[in-house]
């Protein structure tokens, strides 16, 4: 007979419960140790956090203290009435943007306040162009209370930078930092006289770099920051935590006139180049390529055979320009200049403008879907160029292109020149546009000059008709239109034809 062993499970407390009971019986040393350890960890974390905060605070203080002797408040007086003063001193701004200067009285001399920074011991000071443009008197106020007069050495509205000169001695110059090495997210400080409050310091981070096409100046390559910039900060330094100038504050995006967390500063790399040129020659020489460009969306690029490209579309080539000599053509999509990628018209303008006249730049472009590399020798940009507008002139009308909703007519070269249209041959102009037609929806107007349709240049009505006939019905038709001396590609969407389908 086999022995049977039966195991019985008792309801005794588990091991954890026994240990806990024992711990309680002897004064809970285990729990007390755990709580003590947690308190120690919290204390260490708090100490570490305070240490890091104090380190950052010390960095802010050091940057502000180091820059303070170099930052000056600028008070200006203009004998002209305030509205005229502001028109001369401030560029036209897009909605929601403004130059951070206080409101001026409407009668009598216009008075303004801004900020500047000393960049050399012999009296040169950098500020924003709109702070001092049109000023008849300029007074500097230093952080130690001294005041001095200053004169304008040179202005550069294209970047909103100006250079002043004072005879005051004992100046302390600030140092420039390298804005090209700046990274988004880095801490920065802004020093200025917002609302006339001298030597005010605000802190923030670099929100973005390379902001162009903002509409504030001709040559835009802004540092964007959330450091508070208010009226009176214009022309003051944006500095890194080493106390080096990495930008000059220029404008703010604001609906109410105060800081909304978006400010723009001209990078120090641009400021140094402009200031050096003004000090040396009293002016800034810039590169000139001689083209007109426009942004291009994916549909426009696809219609030109440049799918998946990122660049700007050439819509005009100046006669006798470096662009013409290099072989650039209307319809090219420029993707890079001088090794720098180009995604917007503003980036292209800034890149060309920063180049030295006479220098050779490598231009990469897409033409019919294939990459073309060209070398262009830049001329010097002339800011006083004026565009000639296209005016209406009499000529016999052509039959209407009813499918697209517009009629064309031809002008001889002599008539075109008389009408102010640049041409070395006959041209085709839009005679009328149907209100509800495809041409009207594309933005075409009577009087527009038709320079190109699809990939074909247009000099006669026959050219236009054959170019349109070569494009299948239902396909969007790219057309190069000139208006008031400015050229631009538009897409005429022929909705009356079969739909454009792609696999």
The CATH number for 189's domain is 2.40.10.120
Whether 12 maps to a domain, the answer reads: no
Is 70 exceeded by the pLDDT of residue 29? no
Residue 32: partners with Cβ closer than 8 Å, 6 or more residues away: none
Cα 190 from Cα 359, distance rounded (Å):
36
Among 160, 448, 463, 494, the active-site one is 160
Closest CA to 156 of 315, 16, 24, 278: 278
Known catalytic residue at 234: yes
Among 130, 253, 268, 423, the active-site one is 130
Are residues 455 and 350 located together in one domain of the fold?
no
Are residues 406 and 371 located together in one domain of the fold?
no
Is 50 exceeded by the pLDDT of residue 50? yes
Pick the last residue of a domain from 316, 345, 380: 380
CB 208 within 8 A of CB 342: no
Q: In terms of C-beta density within 10 A (0-12 exposed, 13-18 middle, 19 or more buried), how is residue 170 classed? A: exposed
Cα 182 from Cα 242, distance rounded (Å):
12
Query: Tokens 């967390």 appear where?
Result: 261
Name the pLDDT band for 187 (thresholds 50, 70, 90). Answer: very high
Q: Which two tokens stand for residue 314?
A: 């050439």
Are residues 125 and 267 located together in one domain of the fold?
yes
Domain that holds residue 349: 287-380
Q: Which two tokens stand for residue 345?
A: 């018209």
Residue 9: partners with Cβ closer than 8 Å, 6 or more residues away: none
Instruction: Note the pLDDT of residue 388.
Output: 23
Whether 392 maps to a domain, the answer reads: no
Q: What integer best gives the mean pLDDT of the chain? A: 79
Dihedral sign computed on CA atoms, order 223, 83, 154, 72: negative
Cα 98 from Cα 128, distance rounded (Å):
13
**CATH code, 447:** 2.30.42.10
CB 220 within 8 A of CB 213: yes
CB 60 within 8 A of CB 53: no
Whether 131 maps to a domain, the answer reads: yes
Is 70 exceeded by the pLDDT of residue 88? no
Instruction: Note the pLDDT of residue 310.
Output: 84
Are residues 36 and 152 located together in one domain of the fold?
yes
Pick the last residue of a domain from 319, 350, 380: 380
b/e per residue 414-452 (b: at least 16 CB within 10 A): ebbbebebbbeebbbbbbebeeebbbbbbebeebbbbbb
Are residues 238 and 136 located together in one domain of the fold?
yes
Are residues 374 and 437 located together in one domain of the fold?
no
Whether 16 maps to a domain, the answer reads: no
Q: What is the pLDDT of residues 452-484, one digit of tens each?
A: 988 888 888 878 887 887 787 778 899 999 988
Q: Which two tokens stand for residue 449?
A: 């000059």
Cα 452 from Cα 134, distance rounded (Å):
44
Are residues 176 and 269 located together in one domain of the fold?
yes
Mean pLDDT, range 125-139, rounded to an integer: 92
If you average pLDDT over each of 83-97, 231-245, 395-409, 421-435, which comes out highest?
Answer: 231-245
Instruction: Note the pLDDT of residue 80.
Output: 58
Q: Percent of the chain scored above 90 by pLDDT?
A: 34
Cα 184 from Cα 225, distance rounded (Å):
9
Least confident of 11-20, 361-370, 429-438: 11-20
Closest CA to 103 of 113, 115, 93, 91: 113
The more confidently predicted of residues 103 and 351 is 351
Cα distances (angstroms) measured from residue 51 to each of 44, 61, 64: 10, 15, 20
Are residues 252 and 201 located together in one domain of the fold?
yes
Total domains in the fold of the chain: 3
Cα distances (angstroms) measured from residue 374 to each of 23, 107, 214, 261, 330: 84, 56, 29, 42, 14
Known catalytic residue at 308: no
Closest CA to 131 of 165, 109, 155: 155
Are residues 362 and 234 located together in one domain of the fold?
no
Instruction: Note the pLDDT of residue 94.
Output: 53
Cα 449 from Cα 466, distance rounded (Å):
17
Whether 113 maps to a domain, the answer reads: yes
Whether 388 maps to a domain, the answer reads: no
Known catalytic residue at 51: no
The more confidently predicted of residues 252 and 336 is 336
Instruction: Note the pLDDT of residue 218.
Output: 80
How do the residues of the chain divide into helix, strand and coil, expressed in percent and rounded to 5?
25, 30, 45
Are residues 80 and 220 located together in one domain of the fold?
yes
Q: For strands 456-457 and 476-483, give the pairing.
A: unpaired
Cα distances (angstroms) measured from residue 130 to each of 18, 61, 217: 81, 29, 11
Q: What is the pLDDT of residues 197-253, one digit of tens each?
A: 778 889 899 999 988 867 777 888 899 998 888 778 899 999 999 999 999 998 776
Are residues 432 and 311 located together in one domain of the fold?
no
Whether 389 maps to a domain, the answer reads: no
Cα 261 from chain centroid? Answer: 17
Pick the last residue of a domain from 249, 284, 319: 284
Are residues 307 and 199 located together in one domain of the fold?
no
Among 70, 207, 234, 423, the active-site one is 234
Mean pLDDT, range 334-349, rounded to an integer: 90
Whether 307 maps to a domain, the answer reads: yes
């Amino acid at each position: 007979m086999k022995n049977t062993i039966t195991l019985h499970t008792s309801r005794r407390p588990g091991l954890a419960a026994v240990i806990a009971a024992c711990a309680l019986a002897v004064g809970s040393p285990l729990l007390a140790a755990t709580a003590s350890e947690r308190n120690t960890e919290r204390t260490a974390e708090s100490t570490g956090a305070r240490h890091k905060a104090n380190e950052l605070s010390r960095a802010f203080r050091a940057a502000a203290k180091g820059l303070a002797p170099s930052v000056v408040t600028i008070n200006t007086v203009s004998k002209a009435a305030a509205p005229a003063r502001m028109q001369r001193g401030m560029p036209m701004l897009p909605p929601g943007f403004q130059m951070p200067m206080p409101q001026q009285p409407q009668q009598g001399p216009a008075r303004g306040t801004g900020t500047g920074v000393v960049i050399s011991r012999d009296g040169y000071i950098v500020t924003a162009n709109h702070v001092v443009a049109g000023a008849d008197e300029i007074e500097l106020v230093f952080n130690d209370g001294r005041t001095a007069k200053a004169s304008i050495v040179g202005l550069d509205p294209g970047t909103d930078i100006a250079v002043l000169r004072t005879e005051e001695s004992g100046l302390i110059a600030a140092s420039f930092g390298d804005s090209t090495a700046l990274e988004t997210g880095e801490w920065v400080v802004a020093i200025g006289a917002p609302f006339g409050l001298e030597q005010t310091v605000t802190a923030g981070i670099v929100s973005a770099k390379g902001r162009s096409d903002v509409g504030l100046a001709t040559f835009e390559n802004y540092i964007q920051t959330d450091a508070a910039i208010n009226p009176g900060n214009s022309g003051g330094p944006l500095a890194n935590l080493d106390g080096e100038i990495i930008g000059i504050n220029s404008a703010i995006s604001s609906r109410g006139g105060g800081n909304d967390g978006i400010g723009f500063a001209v990078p120090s790399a641009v400021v140094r180049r402009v200031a050096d040129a003004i000090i040396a020659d009293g002016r800034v020489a810039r590169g000139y390529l001689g083209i007109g460009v426009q942004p291009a969306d994916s549909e426009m690029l696809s219609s030109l055979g440049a799918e998946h490209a990122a660049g700007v579309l050439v819509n005009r080539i100046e006669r006798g320009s470096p662009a013409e000599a290099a072989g650039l053509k209307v319809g090219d999509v420029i993707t890079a200049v001088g090794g720098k990628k180009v995604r917007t018209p503003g980036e292209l303008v800034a890149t060309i403008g920063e180049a030295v006249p006479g220098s050779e730049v490598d231009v990469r472009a897409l033409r019919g879907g294939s990459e073309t590399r060209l070398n262009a020798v830049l001329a010097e940009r002339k800011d006083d160029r004026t565009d000639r507008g296209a005016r209406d002139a009499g000529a016999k009308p052509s039959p209407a292109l009813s499918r697209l909703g517009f009629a064309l007519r031809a002008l001889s070269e002599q008539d075109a020149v008389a009408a102010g249209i640049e041409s070395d041959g006959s041209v085709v102009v839009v005679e009328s546009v149907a209100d509800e037609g495809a041409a009207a929806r594309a933005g075409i107007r009577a009087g527009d000059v038709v320079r190109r349709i699809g990939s074909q240049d247009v000099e006669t009505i026959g050219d236009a008709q054959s170019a349109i006939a070569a494009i299948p019905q239902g396909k969007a038709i790219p057309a190069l239109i000139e208006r008031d001396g400015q050229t631009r590609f538009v897409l005429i969407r022929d909705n009356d034809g079969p739909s454009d389908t792609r696999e």
